[in-house]
Amino acid sequence: MKKFKINKSLKDNLLTYGMVILAYLIMQILIGTGNVSSLMQGLLVPLCVYVILAVSLNLTVGILGELSLGHAGFMCVGAFTGAFFSKCMQDVITFSLLRFILAIVIGAVAAGIIGFLIGMPVLRLRGDYLAIVTLAFGEIIKNIINVLYIGKDSKGFHFSLKDSLSLGLEEGGTVIINGAQGITGTPKDATFTMGIILIILTLIIVLNLIHSRDGRAIMSIRDNLIASESVGINITKYKLMAFSISAALAGVAGVLYAHNLSSLMATPKNFGYNMSIMILVFVVLGGIGNIRGSIISAVILTLLPELLRGLSNYRMLIYSIILIAMMLFNWSPKFIHLREKYSLKRLIRKNKEVQ
């Protein structure tokens, strides 16, 4: 019985990796044969971004069992540090792959550190209170980035929280982060292949964590905090571990996001609480704690508004109806009951079990 279980989880993981790799191969073949629309090609990198975000948030929500509404904030930190680095080093490191990898590492570390710093005080809170505090941090990060001005001239870097004039740059100096106008002209280093590699890396990190001793400790905190404390599990350490890894991965997604668009701004749309909630929707729709589910739902929900473009102005209305319908279908006890009763597959499986 025990052996069977291990096999099952291994099989499960392999299925997840296989799915990603298969999707990659199919896409590459389709691109190679010229069967992919420009829309789809343009969507490939964003899809990778959202998949990474969904998987990383699932670590906090599904595995650690804490509701976080500030995930976009970590993405924002990653995006801006990564883009800042690339922009500064554009002339120094001309080999774009190396520059991009370094940017990813820097973005991940920066987001991870911020995650750690935020996690330390706030992980003491529980439930909806933690949710609101993470939301607050997300908004603070966005707000600060919006008033942050960094410029560079021969004397080095200049910072300001007021406007670009108070940087006091000398002639020939350039403003790199220009407040609300963000960073423009980030090199477009993100590619689909790079995105898939990052997804797989994320999956390796998350899945290995889940199936490790640490992962079981984290899940025991989720299932019963007091019981796990009583058997000597260091609650703070494991909570922080899951939270900062999740933040660092969100930072990776942010770097990928920033290097896919030539202009990066922190708007309420892309780094505000709306985005955090959107990522949460991916996680909940895909099944809390279910990594593969997160991947699938992130892909579906990112594609859906694009597929609905034919409806012109009714697009977002239909999208919201589908979202509600999918949630009811996936989560309502009544529907689950109905589905179980009338599902063909289950009937077949039952017959097999009888045999």
Judged by CB under 8 A, the chain residues 128 through 147 that form the site for other proteins are 128-129, 131-133, 135-137, 139-140, 143-144, 146-147
Q: Does 187 bind other proteins (CB under 8 A)?
A: no
| CB distance 188 to 99 below 8 Å | no
- DSSP string of 31-96, one letter each residue: HHTT-S-HHHHHHHHHHHHHHHHHHHHHIIIIIS----S-HHHHHHHHHHHHHHHHHHHTTT---H
Q: Does 267 bind other proteins (CB under 8 A)?
A: yes
d(CA 224, CA 237): 16
Q: Which of 112, 151, 179, 251 binds other proteins (CB under 8 A)?
A: 179
CB of 343 to other proteins, least distance (A): 7
Q: Which of 7, 9, 35, 236 binds other proteins (CB under 8 A)?
A: 35
Q: Under rule CB under 8 A, how many of the chain's residues touch other proteins?
A: 120
Q: Does 315 bind other proteins (CB under 8 A)?
A: yes
Q: Which of 6, 14, 97, 180 binds other proteins (CB under 8 A)?
A: 180
The helix or strand, by DSSP H or E, that contains position 264, with its residue range, turns out to be strand 263-264
CB of 156 to other proteins, least distance (A): 22
For other proteins, the binding residues in 238-257 under the rule CB under 8 A are 257
Q: Which of 6, 98, 204, 318 binds other proteins (CB under 8 A)?
A: 318
CB of 92 to other proteins, least distance (A): 20
CB of 93 to other proteins, least distance (A): 21
- Show Cβ contacts of residue 75 under 8 Å, excluding neighbours closer than 6 positions: 53, 111, 250, 251, 253, 254, 257, 271, 275
DSSP tag of 260: T
Among the listed ranges 90-98, 152-160, 248-256, 279-287, the one in contact with other proteins (CB under 8 A) is 279-287
- DSSP string of 154-192, one letter each residue: TTEEEEESS-GGGG-PPTT-EEEEEGGG-EE-------H
Three-point CA angle 208, 124, 270, nearest 5°: 65
x/- mask, other proteins, residues 83-122, rule CB under 8 A, reads: --------------------------------------xx
Q: Does 7 bind other proteins (CB under 8 A)?
A: no
- Show Cβ contacts of residue 63 under 8 Å, excluding neighbours closer than 6 positions: 206, 209, 210, 215, 218, 219, 222, 242, 289
For other proteins, the closer of residues 61 and 104 by Cβ is 61
The helix or strand, by DSSP H or E, that contains position 130, with its residue range, turns out to be helix 127-146
Provide the CB-side half-sphere exposure for 234 (13 A, CA). 8
Q: Which of 317, 338, 347, 348 binds other proteins (CB under 8 A)?
A: 317
Q: Which of 10, 14, 97, 325 binds other proteins (CB under 8 A)?
A: 325
Between the CA of residue 157 and those of 47, 186, 244, 254, what are the distances in Å?
A: 35, 18, 28, 23
Cα separation of the two ends of the chain = 20
Among the listed ranges 86-94, 206-214, 232-240, 295-303, the one in contact with other proteins (CB under 8 A) is 295-303
For other proteins, the closer of residues 178 and 214 by Cβ is 178
x/- mask, other proteins, residues 207-236, rule CB under 8 A, reads: ------------------xxx--x------
For other proteins, the binding residues in 44-73 under the rule CB under 8 A are 44, 46-47, 61, 67
| CB distance 252 to 78 below 8 Å | yes
Q: Which of 26, 98, 117, 204 binds other proteins (CB under 8 A)?
A: 26
